[in-house]
Structure 1
């Protein structure tokens, strides 16, 4: 980890990139930061798989698992709004501005401390009230989310248990944004390790007494562990008092209603795709919501890893825009889109080629049978078609909100995508069931990604949509070839574990070789980053 407890500022990635002596190797610094954060993300993802395996083994795809997943909609929304996107999109630029003002000097009190004093207490109070309202209104919330449930009482109980995440995720997101703006990426990347440990521990310890309510209680316990994971580092980063008078404007101006509203509504509209899916699936037989969830949790792993690239570079883009370096911001965003797209397309190829084997190895045991495996694998393959769209939406929203200016265009693009998802879902759910819902998700998110890409150049960072499209065309072709090769390998090699191992070997090799044959520079760039992170002989 960079820095020390007594010297919180020097040595961070963001600061090193701001110094003249480090400009010759910013790519290496970012690669090291992304690599460290990605390592913890992989550990968290593996624990997430263990969590899902435990729930699948104990409760299968049933009314109980559906009830828990309906309640889990609350922390999923809270995580997107308060940790992953909303809070980061608001607070990273705000803390970046405060850090810039700190470096300029001339303030009676540290701008970072001022920003925290202005925002954290009020945010905590508002979130605590919102969580209390959710506990009281849980029956109404379940009725809106899943009106097709025959007996909503179990879902209501689980929703009340998970309501605490409205507060705890908000504090986690606040701490994470502050640390990332300071160039600290390891601790924020590790919060989901603590979260999953809490869920797994409570589920295994209490499922025989509380049933699926134990998993919901685990969500609450895990969210508290997230806060405790970040608290020591956050406290060390906060400077001591440097004066008696508080000077406003240390970055809190970027958190006004005109900036807050577009970000919050964008994140809500993005997460509403999940609401649409579960609303439609609640009218299908028991287990449909669970099949969607298991498929999404596994298929999204490549997207989570690819987004670490943009998470690490987001403070760099924000500082470039704050300093007026729009050309540098454009180059950074175009590189991020190409590299993140390449990473997620590799993962997409693996999911398309190996989905049945992946589900069989991960979940087929206990209450989760072969029929559940077949249904989940089919959904996973369809859902994977939208992974590039999901990644691009997550990557593109960051430059839109980096400058701290109010912009409503991302909300309009996401709203259009949501309308497409809803319309397609209504048309496809009847004849195709859960696979129709997954297809609607893929079409809707891809529509939103295209609209956001086309609008970015005139509203935030002057990226060139044609250049981005060309940089992704060759990895898309490579992913198609690799998916076909992976499917052939898993079919030819007998046994679930050996078949999956063969597919996991064939897919990346085919993807890389095809990318090199097609002269995709992103494949070469990806190899260079791997060599930087793991140099020969070390």
Structure 2
């Protein structure tokens, strides 16, 4: 088995663990504090610092991978790592200090209705998250370093540590320090994640401590990084806009939309992001070596492999949406009526999962070409379109229209990004991609047709057993059809070493 396959399997497993631990964190917070003012203060207070955290965490990694590979080819990789770590430390520290000092003013101004005790909780939560920003930035640089060297699972593990610390703090300290336990756990987790990297490298090898920072190199990197980071924030901004519109339909509408979005986004987070992360260093090295055929081949394989996993998952969710929501959410205060309402919204979000997963692969192409500014412009356009479609669709079908808007905007966003990327690099093999997608779609169609005809035999079973039986039968049918159609992406994964193995 090639090193690429082993790394891919480990990364997939670690990504699953990260995503499910994140879901468990939300369950723990809900169990300890319910939907009280404590949770409201927590969510409100982390909004602004979380914007910077998202900017640093994901944007930094996407910008650093091709940058590091370029310098590493010139035997200057460690020097470049040192410059970016030092530059990020000072920039992140400035954000942390200014944000922490401004937190009392921001909370008092943005949330004037908070009671005194809730206001204090919100202020200290905001301060804790702002104080973590500079370490988040440094952690992100090293996670980009691990990704560039094919150590994807280590990168994911360091993020999981933060989630686990938040879970642990909330579980064991909530009775002692109340709502402060959530932010405290995040801050401690960020510190531990940093210390793990420091111990892994050993302090003397962490960076070149004696090296003078090259400000020109740092400025050049941040010129590339800033549009990448801003692009990453587009999805969060659009989600906030949808929540604003949802507020006009009441608190229940916001809950249904958020529950549905988080659930439906799981396949994108697992398959779209996983495949994109694995393929990124491959196309980055191809670009560094001026190997455009390999660059295109990497993108084509990324798009095909992502769809291979995503298509049956989405199809299965559409078939068993109510059962999936029932299994994940329906307990305690979340009753059967909430399950049905959430399921109705979730169907409208399905398109966004597919389109944004494709977009994640395409975005890696832009970042590798140092063209993050182009996709940032598309992202800004998507924000404006989201506002327009939110208004139109919400007046048409109520709050469910906000989910539909997300899917429609995702389609336009992805289509524009695909067309512009092809203009930059010359066209990908549309015939090859289309043929692969057709085989996958036909396999899914056969799977769904069979499941629709047999599911009646199992509907009287316990919901967990019903879900398990249909999932296993569906997976077997899908795999058999892929083999019958001789799907190349499956062949690449299972039966032969990919032609990208040396990268």
- Under TM normalisation by the shorter chain, which class is it? 0.7 to 0.9
**Is 1:310 paired with 2:283?**
no
The one of 63, 66, 73 equivalent to 1:100 is 73
| Contact persistence 2:355–2:410 (CA under 8 A) | yes
The one of 173, 198, 217 equivalent to 2:140 is 173
- Cα drift, residue 226 of structure 1: 2.7
Q: 1:370 to 1:217 in 2, by over 3 A?
A: farther
The one of 323, 327, 330 equivalent to 2:289 is 323
Q: Deviations over 1:491-510 (max 9, x none)?
A: 71432322222232234234
Q: Kindly report which structure 2 residues correspond to 1:415-494, keeping only aligned pairs within 5 A, or say none.
A: 415-430=380-395, 432-460=397-425, 462-465=427-430, 467-479=432-444, 482=447, 489=455, 492-494=459-461
Structure 2 match to 1:377:
343
| Contact persistence 2:61–2:140 (CA under 8 A) | yes
- Cα drift, residue 367 of structure 1: 3.7
> How well do the aligned residues superpose, as a CA RMSD in angstroms?
3.6
- Cα drift, residue 398 of structure 1: 1.0
- What is the CA–CA distance in structure 2 between the aligned matches of 1:229 and 1:122, rounded to whole Å? 21
**Is 1:54 paired with 2:21?**
no
SS at match of 2:234: helix
- What is the CA–CA distance in structure 2 between the aligned matches of 1:262 and 1:479, rounded to whole Å? 37
**Is 1:294 paired with 2:223?**
no
Q: 1:489 to 1:390 in 2, by over 3 A?
A: same
| Contact persistence 2:394–2:401 (CA under 8 A) | yes
| Contact persistence 1:351–1:380 (CA under 8 A) | no
- Cα drift, residue 328 of structure 1: 0.9
Q: Kindly report which structure 2 residues correspond to 1:332-351, keeping only aligned pairs within 5 A, or say none.
A: 332-351=298-317
- What is the CA–CA distance in structure 2 between the aligned matches of 1:78 and 1:261, rounded to whole Å? 11
Q: 1:89 to 1:276 in 2, by over 3 A?
A: same
- Cα drift, residue 220 of structure 1: 2.6
Q: 1:318 to 1:435 in 2, by over 3 A?
A: same
- Cα drift, residue 135 of structure 1: 3.5
- What is the CA–CA distance in structure 2 between the aligned matches of 1:373 and 1:174, rounded to whole Å? 41
Structure 2 match to 1:22:
none
Q: Deviations over 1:62-100 (max 9, x none)?
A: 66545444445456544542233x112221112101211
| Contact persistence 1:475–1:515 (CA under 8 A) | yes
Q: 1:275 to 1:483 in 2, by over 3 A?
A: farther
The one of 94, 102, 127 equivalent to 1:129 is 94
- Cα drift, residue 357 of structure 1: 2.2
| Contact persistence 2:147–2:281 (CA under 8 A) | yes
Q: Deviations over 1:211-238 (max 9, x none)?
A: 5443333333333333233333344894
Q: Kindly report which structure 2 residues correspond to 1:52-451, keeping only aligned pairs within 5 A, or say none.
A: 52-60=26-34, 64-74=38-48, 77-78=51-52, 80-84=54-58, 86-102=59-75, 111-138=76-103, 153=119, 158-235=125-202, 238=205, 252=218, 254-257=220-223, 259-306=224-271, 307-403=273-369, 405-430=370-395, 432-451=397-416
| Contact persistence 2:256–2:338 (CA under 8 A) | yes
Number of residue pairs aligned between Structure 1 and Structure 2: 492
| Contact persistence 1:59–1:367 (CA under 8 A) | no
SS at match of 2:26: helix
Structure 1 match to 2:6:
32
Q: 1:516 to 1:391 in 2, by over 3 A?
A: same
Q: Deviations over 1:359-388 (max 9, x none)?
A: 322232334333333333333332232111
Q: Deviations over 1:108-139 (max 9, x none)?
A: xxx23322332222212222222333344457
- What is the CA–CA distance in structure 1 between the aligned matches of 2:496 and 2:26, rounded to whole Å? 31
Structure 1 match to 2:501:
none
| Contact persistence 2:351–2:410 (CA under 8 A) | no
Q: 1:72 to 1:253 in 2, by over 3 A?
A: closer
- What is the CA–CA distance in structure 2 between the aligned matches of 1:387 and 1:146, rounded to whole Å? 33
Q: What stretches of structure 2 of length at least 5 have no aligned partner?
A: 499-503
Length-normalised TM-score, structure 2: 0.84
Q: 1:56 to 1:469 in 2, by over 3 A?
A: farther
- What is the CA–CA distance in structure 2 between the aligned matches of 1:279 and 1:79, rounded to whole Å? 22
Q: What stretches of structure 1 of length at least 5 have no aligned partner?
A: 1-24, 103-110, 532-538
SS at match of 1:494: coil
Structure 2 match to 1:535:
none
Length-normalised TM-score, structure 1: 0.79
- What is the CA–CA distance in structure 1 between the aligned matches of 2:490 and 2:334, rounded to whole Å? 38
Structure 2 match to 1:504:
471
